[in-house]
Amino acid sequence: MGAGGLLASLVLSRTRTRAPVLFLLLTLCFDGASLLAFTFTRVLISSVILMSALGAIGAIFRVTIRSYLQTNTASNVRGRVMGSFLGMQAPIESLSLTLGIVLASRLPAWVILRGGAIAELIVASGAIAVSFALARGPAILPFHE
């Protein structure tokens, strides 16, 4: 994961995306797909490659979301926004770690990882669908008055 994260950070520092929200959602889809593929692999080299991909995807996601927040937040509230964002991350990470530990005592690791990967794919693809629906206008959203 470390080598992929380092490589992704170096590449990402030289690039710029025009649609960061869509890019973030696609990154989540690739993360879920890579994690799902990792749960099916039985060959060491493919596992190493997929773990490097997961590290790269994680680095890309972190750099992109923090850059997006910093560039789209007014300078007088930027510190509060970044502090709130980082403050929200810690409890979510702690909750997922606790849930993982509880589930690991009852289920095999591959079941937990596949479930997490599938949940991530569902959430990310649903968010992409909603973002496209919002971009096209409110006429295609259900229950719009």
Decide: residue 137, CB within 10 A, 0-12 exposed, 13-18 middle, 19+ buried.
exposed
Element (DSSP H or E) covering residue 8: helix 2-12
Which pair of structure tokens corresponds to residue 47?
A: 């596992």
pLDDT in tens, 83-102: 888 788 788 888 888 988 89
For 24-28, 32-36, 43-47, which range has the lowest pLDDT when averaged over its residues?
24-28
Amino acid found at 135: A
Top pLDDT among 86 and 54 is at 54
| pLDDT at position 22 over 60 | yes
Domain boundaries, the chain: 2-76+90-140
Average pLDDT, the chain: 81
